[in-house]
Amino acid sequence: MSLSFEIERGLFHLDFTDHHAILGISLDAEPKAIRKRYLSIARRLHPDVCKADNRELAQALLSKLVNPAYAKLSNEREWNDYGVLLRMTAKRLLQEHQSIALQDERAQALMREEGFESKYRAAIEELAGSQYEDLDRVVDAIGQLSELNFAYLFRREQQNKGWPKSKEERPNRPVPPPPPPRSSTDALVDKYFQRAQSLLQSQRFAQARKELQDALKLDANSSRCHGLMALVYVEQQKQNPSSVNLRLANTHLTKALKLDAKDPTALEARKQITRMMARSGDGKAKPKTKPPKKSDRGGGGLFRIFGGKKK
Per the confidence metrics, is the pTM higher than 0.85? no
Residues 267-283: pLDDT tens digits? 988 888 888 877 766 44
Q: What are phi and psi of 69, to 5 degrees?
A: -65, -45
**Maximum Cα interatomic distance, the chain, rounded to a whole number of Å:** 88
Backbone torsion region of residue 288, taken as left when φ is above 0, otherwise alpha when ψ lies between -120 and 50, otherwise beta = beta
- Contact partners, residue 221, CB within 8 Å, separation at least 6: 259
Average pLDDT of span 303-311: 50
Q: Are 264 and 305 in contact (CB under 8 A)?
A: yes
Per-residue pLDDT for 296 more than 50? no
Looking at the predicted structure, is the pLDDT value of residue 264 above 70?
yes
pLDDT in tens, 115-159: 899 999 999 999 999 999 999 999 999 999 999 999 999 999 888
pLDDT for the residue 118? 92
Band of residue 183 on the pLDDT scale cut at 50, 70, 90: very low
- The band of 1, judged by pLDDT with boundaries at 50, 70 and 90, is very low
Query: What residue ranges do the domains of the chain occupy?
Result: 10-158, 183-305
What distance in Å separates the CA atoms of residue 70 and residue 90, rounded to the nearest whole number? 21
- Return the closest-CA partner of residue 23 out of 137, 156, 124, 123: 124
* Superfamily for the 183-305 domain: Tetratricopeptide repeat domain (1.25.40.10)
Residue 20 is predicted with a pLDDT of 96
pLDDT at 18: 95
Distance set, CA 235 to CA 33, 103, 208, 215 (Å): 46, 55, 11, 20
Three-state SS for 222?
coil
Contacts of 44 (CB under 8 A, 6+ apart): 132
- Comparing C-alpha atoms, which of 128, 5, 20, 118 is closest to residue 63? 5
CA Rg value for the chain: 25
Q: State the Cα–Cα distance between residues 85 and 98, nearest whole angstrom.
A: 20
Task: Note the pLDDT of residue 298.
Answer: 47
DSSP labels, 157-218 = HHTT--S---SSPPPSS--PPPPPPHHHHHHHHHHHHHHHHHHHHTT-HHHHHHHHHHHHHH
B/e letters for 147-169, b = 16+ CB within 10 Å, e = fewer, are bbbbbbbbbbbeeeeebeebeee
